[in-house]
Amino acid sequence: MEAKLTAIGIFAPEKVIDNHYFEKIVDTNDEWIRSRTGIITRHYAGEDEFTSDLAQKAIENMAAEYHLQLDDVDFILVATVTHDQIMPSMACQLQYRLNMPKAAALDISAACGGFAYGLVLAKGLINSGMYRKILVVGAETLSKVTDFTDRTSCILFGDGAGVVLIEAAEKGNIGASVAGADGSGGQDLYLSTQNTWINGEEIKANNKIVQNGRKVFKWAVSQMALQFNILLEKEGLSVEDIDWFVPHSANMRIIEAICKQVGLPIEKTLESLSTYGNTSSASIPLALYEGLRAGKVKKGDRVMMLGFGGGLTYAGAIVQWA
Ligand code: UT7
């Protein structure tokens, strides 16, 4: 059997935060944020709204839109860095709440690369014949771990959730995939709950995201351009064969730089950052869903998804939209 992506759903909390919000708390302005990142708004969860709630609503939205039964889901993978709690896992919480009695449940810790890692894992689990119906979720409440004293990072993050259903089929639609890591950059993007060390560098626990933006930016552009070309080669395609490129939505300038390096017109990209900010593992499904809703992505289109983030991690796959 082959792996087929058959459904998608998203959810974002109601509260919308515009760039002017940050002018009151740090030395920044709307013009800087728009021109350096492309972000215009982001959504924040309420105090009593957690990542599991966002994920649950994304799954319920998908089930309603596609008229799906969930009781025969046999695996749920949840990518997040903002679990409600470290134990139990988010996947277990959702398995119980959404009544999926047969489902194995596992969280993925690969930061903004997490959703794409989930796609690659789901493809492998289905192609091996072990599982038939898998949910891959990317969900975050980054507003709860944002350092609102750091102007270089607080303006970036937002909350949201997305999910896709991957099923076993005679003829699948998930083609070439990549997944990898570069742990040497671990200290450039972290979220720590303990005083500890990463790569010999002392890390203070503050339960907030800390990022060396410039270093991650440079790494992301060169690594994503490389992985883009590796995916093309694996699938035997050229850049003209890609209808839609859906990279992790961190910064519009990163997306533009990748496109320039690989020779892809920027009009062929889908992003979620302008509306939702950087939502880490949720950013790819949010962008894809919005692309579908806008009537851009059509049946038969070749879509390349490529995630990257803390770890450092990256993963991606080419999907032919069914
Ligand atoms: O999702 C996981 C992966 N993460 C990423 O991919 C994020 C990658 N990095 C980025 O997106 C960008 O590096 C940032 C948006 C974080 C920063 O943009 P940048 O263009 O790389 O800015 P920079 O760090 O080079 O800083 C340029 C200047 C600095 O001032 P000086 O030293 O030139 O005087 C910063 O202090 O911009 C200043 N600056 C700001 N100014 C106004 C930094 N943040 C702000 C701000 N408002 N919010």
Check whether residue 118 and residue 192 sit in a common domain: no
The per-residue pLDDT for 284 is 98
Check whether residue 190 and residue 165 sit in a common domain: no
Check whether residue 103 and residue 30 sit in a common domain: yes
Q: Is the CB of 135 within 6 Å of ligand 1?
A: no
The per-residue pLDDT for 43 is 98
Cα of 154 to ligand 1 centre, how many Å? 11
Phi, psi of 224 (to 5 degrees): -70, -40
Check whether residue 12 and residue 149 sit in a common domain: yes
The per-residue pLDDT for 120 is 98
Check whether residue 168 and residue 226 sit in a common domain: no
Cα of 156 to ligand 1 centre, how many Å? 10
The per-residue pLDDT for 195 is 96
Check whether residue 101 and residue 224 sit in a common domain: no
* Domain termination site, one of 127, 156, 172: 172
Axis-axis angle for helices 213-235, 252-262 (nearest 10): 40
Residue of 36, 82, 157 to mutate, ligand 1, most atoms within 8 A of C-beta: 36
* Domain termination site, one of 132, 150, 172: 172
Q: Is the CB of 23 within 6 Å of ligand 1?
A: no
| Structural domain count of the chain | 2
Check whether residue 42 and residue 140 sit in a common domain: yes
Check whether residue 187 and residue 312 sit in a common domain: yes
The per-residue pLDDT for 262 is 98
Chunked mean pLDDT (size 10), the chain, 322 residues:
97 98 98 98 98 98 97 98 97 98 98 98 98 98 98 98 98 98 97 95 94 97 98 98 98 98 98 98 98 97 98 98 92
Burial (0-12, 13-18, 19+ Cβ within 10 Å), 204: exposed
Check whether residue 79 and residue 162 sit in a common domain: yes
The per-residue pLDDT for 181 is 98
Nearest atom, ligand 1, residue 152 CA: 44
Check whether residue 183 and residue 153 sit in a common domain: no
Phi, psi of 216 (to 5 degrees): -65, -40
State the CATH number of the domain containing residue 136.
3.40.47.10
Determine the Cα–Cα distance for residues 224 and 306; give it in Å rounded to an integer. Answer: 7
Indicate the SS3 state at residue 300.
coil
Burial (0-12, 13-18, 19+ Cβ within 10 Å), 203: middle
Cα of 84 to ligand 1 centre, how many Å? 29
Peptide bond just before 119 cis, omega within 30 deg = no
Q: Show Cβ contacts of residue 123 under 8 Å, excluding neighbours closer than 6 positions.
A: 3, 166, 172, 174, 177, 317
The per-residue pLDDT for 282 is 98
Which residue lies with its CA nearest to atom 20 of ligand 1?
Answer: 36
Which residues are catalytically annotated? Answer: 112, 248, 278
Q: Is the CB of 162 within 6 Å of ligand 1?
A: no
Contact 189, 111 (CB under 8 A): yes
Nearest atom, ligand 1, residue 248 CA: 1
Check whether residue 26 and residue 98 sit in a common domain: yes
Q: Could you list the residue range(s) of the whole structural domain that residue 69 is in?
A: 2-172
Token pair 């997306």 is at which residue?
Answer: 255
Check whether residue 83 and residue 157 sit in a common domain: yes
* Domain termination site, one of 153, 172, 191: 172
Residue type, 86: I
Pairing of strands 302-309, 159-169: unpaired
Which residue lies with its CA nearest to atom 1 of ligand 1?
Answer: 250
Determine the Cα–Cα distance for residues 19 and 30; give it in Å rounded to an integer. Answer: 5
